[in-house]
Structure 1
């Protein structure tokens, strides 16, 4: 069994275990959606499930080499003409690709995106290059759940063949299937959806205060509670926002307490894995 930890939470990370057979099954489901792949260029860390599937298991099954780009994510490695390359993207990868559109033109590329919503740079690159690109929805608990082609108008998602939808009165995506992490028989994700067919749906947003900052999961309601505990008497609120680099982010507003820079340092000292707020602003009460 192979461990994968949830990332970017405001509490202890949770470890979920998966079998090698589950990883192989997921890679085999996703590979046909990408067409021919001769090489993989991965910007997704392989210790997270998304990076492991596309940067380790899929190329192993396809018998193709991998270039590990996530260790130096601000550099675009050389590409080889005539080699169809799968680019495994995080939200922050797309601005890098946009800066190098001139280099990318003429190369045979296909891209995959996951971990957070697409950004304006995503659609710029797809449009400028006429790029085939696939978006994957999933989590550490479920593995990949659904896919769709990347388009500006945001078409519906389609469940993968081995994923079964279950009723959920609260509108959250509830699924079962053979690739769920060990000990789970079903899982209700934080994704709010509206089904448009038996196996297709629209993504409406995330429940509660959940955001994924460049793929790192963050409960903004827990962040606000943490700030209130660190600064007694402080009223804190986190506001989810879109971000052109990371896809999703959050701003932190609070009423009383330390200066914003000091509050940032306090948050980092309490939880080094916590994605720092994009904006920290003290709003004095009347």
Structure 2
């Protein structure tokens, strides 16, 4: 095993690589040598392939040819196909250069499509495909632009126009942007809510109309009527009303407040807010 590991690795023959007549005779001799040592023909071919790096199919084909014909022949070498450029003579190559030059004489920018159309209509040139024409022009050191015209810098640069503020166009500068409240809710819901809010809101024409106070909203109707009656009686009798207890207390003496001394009627007004005083006036 150590001897096998120390042996140099054999480079395999590349697929399609040419094998000459002398190499084929050597292959046949190596196979014959393994057969004389008592090994089978298939084992000998396998060992020869491992030693030489040539495929077993090539070795079998060589053995069959020598057994049938008595000699090994090498296949003909593959000839390299001549390109379209090599098929053209010097006059035709010069003619292609003149075709390209004529475009510049006409003050036109040549491209591959234009040149190919002229070449197709020219009887002095053989049929050339578009791909081969591109390769020929490349070897002639003629480069074609993909675009027909090249834009100048003045055509590329566009004057920047002043940007309009977001939410406004050139015709609605006076129109305010929509609020997040309008954007989040559907249009129909927004209109309905606005209509309801307009009913409760106060305009310049109805400032004198007060909103319902917390005093009116929280108290039931019967309690409000009773309190209104007590307040009226207290005001008439100059009595003091304790707002927390909501009942009339007879006060013979004037009670003192942080702002000074007031009589009973003024003490009642101090205990209630201005909106609640409006409520008293309604009754």
TM-score range (shorter-chain normalised) is under 0.3
Query: Which structure has the highest helix share of the two?
Result: 2
> If you compute each CA radius of gyration, which structure gives the higher value, 1 or 2?
2
Structure 2 length-normalised TM: 0.16
Give the TM-score normalised by the residue count of structure 1: 0.15
**Bigger strand share:** 1
